[in-house]
Amino acid sequence: MKVSKQQLHQLIQNKIQSAGLSQQHASIVADVLVHADARGVHSHGAVRVEYYAERISKGGTNNNPHFTFEQTGPCSGVFDGDNGAGHVAAQISMDHAIEIAKKNGVAVVGARRIGHSGALSWFVQRAAHAGMVGISVCQSDPMVVPYGGAEVYYGTNPIAFSVPAEGNEVMTFDMATTVQAWGKVLDARSRNVPIPDTWAVDSNGKNTTDPFAVSALLPIAGPKGYGLMMMVDILSGVLLGLPFGKHVSSMYHDLTAGRELGQLHIVINPGFFTSESAFRKNISQVMQELNNIKPAPGVDSVLYPGQGSHIRELESEKNGIDIVDEVYEYLISDELYRKSYDHKSPFAS
């Protein structure tokens, strides 16, 4: 099923509003989810709406949050999201970081007590489009076995990075510290397709291709991914005085309670370190030189990081966005949610 970006945005916004969020907050949530679907990251797009709607309607997402921001130093600040929609809290806190970096060169802003915020690429691109370097990290549900372990401890703990090039171009990189994000497994389930055997393990700790048999995810590159997810958890959890590691709340444990999640934004103003125009020009040169590299056998061309997602985003403007039929049918229905995620295992169907 293909729908236009505008149609998908309205459908998502309608459903999130029906669940109880204000029009303004529902629109921001829809912005982030449509952005993900347009870039082909369906794991963080419309497939998540039913879960969000249930949590909002049950009070686990505060539909009238009291946001506060305290600038704790010339280049630092803490935003309290009052367990409101994570997409909204993450966007507002990133905007605070951008404003600080414009004036003082760098900014480190922590967003605490927020809900799930979706694709981090949305937030770092706000910094890049403002002429800044944007970095964002956030903690997530414990569902990954540490390297050498047989029990989950850390979450998928993503990292995102974006920089401005010449004109309106940006280069963006967004990754989970697992081989794949949990949402990719959800997407495979919704499409009823197998997953690669390098993504996850079953209840016996054995690699599996069955998305419905997943019991834990695997860190990317073994001990390296394990170290990265530890770093992310400390920066977005311990540093902000929040639950960490296996103590981070599950997405599905209790949909009436706030998630209490953390996210950290780092924004750098290139003009405080070099010429802004030279920085942009050199980033454009990097992108072009990577594209000009001789491709390996069987490869059409070398893409710079994030370029594949950008190409899909441009194509979606012309051709619409692919949405699973089941998800589309839910979005156009009058039902708030068809199945309950409440008190389910994070690996439940």
> Which residues, including other chains, have CB under 8 Å from residue 165's CB and lie 6 or more apart?
171, 280, 283, 284, 287
Residues for the chain: how many in total? Answer: 349
What letter would DSSP give residue 335? -
HEC assignment per residue over 121-147: HHHHHHHHHCCCEEEEEECCCCCECCC
How far, in Å, CA of 126 to CA of 96, rounded? 11
What letter would DSSP give residue 334? S
How far, in Å, CA of 177 to CA of 146, rounded? 11
Type and span of the H or E element at 68: strand 68-73
End-to-end CA distance of the chain: 22
Among the listed residues 323, 319, 309, the one whose alpha carbon sits nearest the alpha carbon of residue 121: 309
Q: Which of 116, 129, 247, 310 is catalytic?
A: 116
Q: Where are the alpha helices (DSSP H) in 164-218?
A: 182-191
> Which residues, including other chains, have CB under 8 Å from residue 53's CB and lie 6 or more apart?
15, 16, 18, 19, 336, 337
Question: What's the gap between Cα 121 and its chain centre?
Answer: 7
Measured CA distances, 168 to 21, 92, 344 (Å): 32, 22, 43
Identify whether 116 is a catalytic site residue: yes
How far, in Å, CA of 267 to CA of 94, rounded? 8
Q: What are the residue numbers of the active site?
A: 116
